[in-house]
Amino acid sequence: MTTVTDRTVPDAPAVQRTPRRRRTPAKVVVARSVVAVLLAGYAVVSLYPFLWMVSAAFKTQQEVIQGGHLIPHDPTLSTLVDTWAQLHFFDYFLNSLKVTGLTTLGVVVVYSAASYAFAVLRFPGRQAFFRLFLVLLFVPGVVTLLPIVLLENQMGILGTHLGLILPFVNGTAPLSILLLTNSFRSLPDELRDAARVDGAGELRIFTRIYLPLARPALITVALLTAIPTWNEYLLSRVSLNDPATFTLPIALQQLQSSNVVQYNQLMAGALIVVIPVIILFLATQRYFVNGLAGAVKG
C-alpha cells in the first residue's frame, strides 16, 4: 500500500501596501499660504526699523539724511566710537545693570514663593487673590505713574534707584504669578507627598524640588522682567534728576537734546543700548521658549 505524504504548500507572502498619504484639502493649503505670506510681511515690517537703525549706526550724518538705501555706501566705525565716548557707556551701564539685576532678583524671589503658595498650598481666599492678580494684567501701568511718584516723594526715595526697583517689581507681579503658578501646578503632587513623607518641610520642598524643576519658567519670568526694565524710560525720566543716577535710556535721550539732532549718533547709541538685550535673549532663548510653552500648557 502506497502512502502519499501530504506536503504543505507555504502561503504566499502578504503584499505590504504603503499607506496612502492623505491629501491636504485645497482650502487648507490656501489658508496656510495666506497666513505664511501675512507673517512674512509682518516680519519684514517689524525688522526694517531695526535694520535701518543698524545701518544708520555705520553711516555719516549726511548719508543718513540723504537716505534712499539701507546698506551704507561707505561704512564707518567712527560714529560708534564717537557715540561710545559721548554716551559714557560704562557709567550708565552700571546703573542700568544695578536696577535691572535687583529688579529681576526681587521678582524671581518674591513671586516664585507667592506662586508656590497659589499652586500648592490651601488657604482662605486663595482663588480670590489669584484672580485679583490676573485682573491687574489689564490695568495700564501709566495710570499708576502719578500715585507712585507722590508715594515715593513721601517715602523719601524719589530720584533714587530704589524708587525705580520697587515699582518695577510690583508692576511685574500679574504676569509673573500667572506663569509661575501654572508651571508649579503642572508638577505632579506625588513629588510633594513623597518629600513630606521623608520629613521635608515646605521651604525645603520649595527650594529643593519645585524651583529646580521650574527652572525654564523662572528663566522666562526673569527674561520678561529684565528686558522691559533695561529699556524702561518713562518712570526713570520722571523720577531721576541727578545725572549720576541716569540709566542708559536716559543717557540716550541726552544725545538728541542738542539743536541739531545727529541721527547717525542717535542710532549708534540705540544699537549700543540694545546689544546687551540681544545677547541676553540669544543666550536664554531655549529656556525662554520651553518655559513659556510649559507655563501656558500648565
Is residue 22 one of the residues assigned to a domain? no
pLDDT above 90 (res 99): yes
pLDDT above 90 (res 101): yes
Range 86-91 contact pairs with CB under 8 angstroms and sequence separation of 24 or more: 86/255, 86/265, 87/248, 87/251, 87/252, 87/255, 87/269, 87/272, 88/251, 89/248, 89/272
pLDDT at 273: 87
Cell of residue 258, nine digits: 542738542
Q: Both 205 and 273 in a single domain?
A: yes
pLDDT at 229: 93
CA distance 266 to 272: 10
Is residue 1 one of the residues assigned to a domain? no
CA distance 136 to 4: 92
Domain limit, last residue, from 38, 66, 94? 66
Q: Both 43 and 137 in a single domain?
A: no
Is residue 12 one of the residues assigned to a domain? no
Q: Both 61 and 113 in a single domain?
A: no
Domain limit, last residue, from 18, 39, 66? 66
CA distance 248 to 159: 15
pLDDT in tens, 126-156: 888 888 888 888 888 888 888 999 999 999 9
pLDDT above 70 (res 258): no
Tell me if residue 121 falls in helix, strand or coil.
coil
The DSSP letter of residue 14 is P
pLDDT at 1: 45
Length of the chain: 298
Supply φ then ψ for residue 195, to 5 degrees: -65, -40
The DSSP letter of residue 57 is T
Instruction: State the Rg of the chain over Cα.
Output: 29
Q: Both 39 and 170 in a single domain?
A: no
Is residue 172 one of the residues assigned to a domain? yes
CA distance 73 to 114: 55
Is residue 133 one of the residues assigned to a domain? yes
pLDDT at 163: 92
Q: Both 52 and 162 in a single domain?
A: no
Indicate if the alpha-carbon torsion angle 277, 280, 286, 292 is positive or negative. negative
Cell of residue 108, nine digits: 524671581
CA distance 208 to 205: 5
Top-confidence residue, 172 or 263: 172
Is residue 221 one of the residues assigned to a domain? yes
Give pTM, 2 decimals.
0.79
| The most confident of 159-173, 186-200, 277-291, by mean pLDDT | 159-173
As a whole number of Å, the end-to-end CA separation of the chain is 81
Q: Both 149 and 260 in a single domain?
A: yes
Q: Both 53 and 185 in a single domain?
A: no
pLDDT at 5: 47
pLDDT above 70 (res 93): yes
Residue with cell 554716551: 87
CA distance 220 to 10: 63
pLDDT in tens, 34-62: 999 999 999 888 888 888 888 888 888 88
pLDDT above 80 (res 208): yes
CA distance 298 to 296: 5
Q: Both 61 and 95 in a single domain?
A: no
Average pLDDT over residues 293-298: 57
pLDDT at 23: 66
Average pLDDT over residues 80-97: 83
Q: Give the CATH number of the domain where residue 189 resides.
A: 1.10.3720.10
Q: Which range is least confidently modeled, 65-69, 93-97, 166-170?
A: 65-69
Pair 223, 108: CB distance under 8 Å: no
Q: Both 202 and 287 in a single domain?
A: yes
pLDDT above 90 (res 230): yes
Tell me if residue 201 falls in helix, strand or coil.
coil
Average pLDDT over residues 227-239: 90
The total of structural domains in the chain comes to 2
Q: Both 166 and 51 in a single domain?
A: no
Is residue 21 one of the residues assigned to a domain? no
Domain that holds residue 103: 82-297
Q: Both 38 and 165 in a single domain?
A: no
Average pLDDT over residues 97-106: 95
Indicate if the alpha-carbon torsion angle 237, 243, 246, 252 is positive or negative. positive
Is residue 3 one of the residues assigned to a domain? no
Cell of residue 98, nine digits: 544695578
pLDDT in tens, 8-39: 555 555 555 555 556 667 787 788 889 999 99
Q: What is the mean pLDDT of the chain?
A: 83
Q: Both 190 and 46 in a single domain?
A: no
CA distance 54 to 75: 11
